[in-house]
Amino acid sequence: MIGFGERLHSAVARHGRLCVGIDPHASLLAQWGLEASAAGTREFGLRVVAAAAGRVGIVKPQVAFFERWGSAGFAALEDVQAAARDAGLLVIADAKRGDIGSTMDGYAAAWLEPGAPLEADAVTVSPYLGPGSLRGTIAAAARAGKGVFVLAATSNPEALGVQSAEVSVVDAQRGQTVADWVASGIGWANRAAVDAGGWGPVGLVVGATVDRDELGLTDEALRGAPILAPGFGAQGVGLRDVGSVFGAHAPQVIANASRSVLAAGPDGIAAAIDAHRAELADAFEEEPRG
């Protein structure tokens, strides 16, 4: 079985580092001429998938915008994620789940178990019940060839007070911040793959707008982990800035763009994806790939 890190690396090699968000905001549904309903949300998602297929390797549905429609919304999400995976896209379900014990095992089964209705290739998870609470989910992901992206340094400004706070637990370094403790706490899962020169099953969510020094997020904590980076485009950071923002870690970055792509509308989304992909390739002095 091919692991998630290898599949992610292969998708980047084929199509580049752009991840297209599938975020059916109410305003975007209206702009696209779609009704504010589960059916409209489903149609929106399927159109994004059709535009993304063959242009990028990764999409990220924002689960909240489907969940708000209840069971019909989840059915719509099932259809969108299945269509994306059938089209050869890697699906990162942006669900931000986080709990302990059997409850977290249930979330892992829902999003990462092969054949599950909501099956994705990876899921975002919250570590704020402690990084150790994710061990079972990470192990389940690795067994299934799936991935997990752990929230480490998010782009929302109100997170700074929590993520920059110093931790006071036995296994922490003196003065270590929560963000660094979280990122360091999942390193065990990637060690074998990193030692072999690849990517493991666990990535980190690190916003493009955050100051990593301010958060105390060290190079060692980021070493070898895929980095899912929101904050490009509509939040003000240009894709050409990926090198200056992430430095030596830029080759690990999967750059997410949502509103700046989706705002182009159904007739312009394909061209917007191409433009974003070209800008990101230019940052790495690469040829845009199809």
Which residues are identified as catalytic?
A: 96
3-state secondary structure of 125: strand
Q: Which of 122, 115, 93, 124 is nearest to 7 (CA)?
A: 122
Distance in angstroms (rounded) separating the CA atoms of residues 59 and 48: 9
Token pair 């065990």 is found at 188
Burial class (CB in 10 A: 0-12, 13-18, 19+), 245: buried
State how far the alpha carbon of 102 is from the alpha carbons of 133, 134, 138, 143, in Å: 10, 11, 14, 17
123: number of CA atoms within 13 Å, CB side?
A: 27
**What distance in Å separates the CA atoms of residue 257 and residue 277, rounded to the nearest whole number?**
10
Q: DSSP letter for 53, please.
A: B
